[in-house]
Amino acid sequence: MTDLLQIGESFVGDGVNAAHINTVFGHRDGPAGTAWATALASPSAGHVPFVAVLRPSLPVKPLTLFVTKAAPANDQHGVLIWGPAQAGVAAGVADAVADGSIAAADTDTHALIAAVWVNPGADDADTVYRNNREATRTALANGARSLPSLDDVLAARHSPTNPFYTPDSTKDA
């Protein structure tokens, strides 16, 4: 049984259909379970957490709370969140169980929160699905292995970059 709180992160893809997932996985009797129940019972405008399902009435195990990082900007964006992004997250969780990143024994005793970014400009449902599936599976694997390593973090500290910003390397740090 895994009693530790596992936190994972993954960014997959590029452009408007990229996926960015943060995961929190832990025992239902611990902080992950408390956060899961509190988030489900405390929706806010535009951010309504819901249980991820593989299909209607078939929630993925461990029970996964899908929390969107961006409020739906329009109907199409909402459909991409509730449709392909949710399906990708649910499938990615099932993949993590199948590949052993989440122990089968933990699927009824643990809770998972997936914070999910779907860009309001996303425009390709199949790519949103694939990227969210892979990002979820990878975030959970990273959390299970306590990645990134501290050495990797320290090695990257002088050259941080992300899809929205790259520092000017000609200026002093």
Q: Which domain holds residue 125?
A: 6-146
Q: What is the DSSP string of 84-119?
A: IIHHHHHHHHHHHHHTTSS-GGGTTTEEEEEEEE--
* pTM (2 d.p.): 0.93
pLDDT at 1: 45
pLDDT at 171: 64
The residue annotated as part of the active site, out of 20, 47, 110, 158, is 20
20 classed as catalytic: yes
pLDDT at 170: 59
More confident: 46 or 149: 149
The enclosing domain of 73 has a CATH number of 3.30.230.60
Does the residue 154 lie in any domain?
A: no
Does the residue 56 lie in any domain?
A: yes
Does the residue 1 lie in any domain?
A: no
Buried b (16+ CB within 10 A) or exposed e, 44-61: eeeeebbebbeeeeebbb
pLDDT at 81: 97
pLDDT at 47: 87
Does the residue 22 lie in any domain?
A: yes
Does the residue 118 lie in any domain?
A: yes
Total tally of structural domains belonging to the chain: 1
Write the pLDDT tens digit of every residue in 107-161: 999 999 999 999 999 999 999 999 999 999 999 999 999 999 999 999 999 999 9
- What is the C-alpha separation between 48 and 51, in angstroms, rounded? 10
Q: How many CA atoms lie within 13 A of 125 on its CB side?
A: 10
DSSP state of 147: P
Amino acid occupying residue 95? D
Is the bond leading into 148 cis (omega within 30 degrees of zero)?
yes
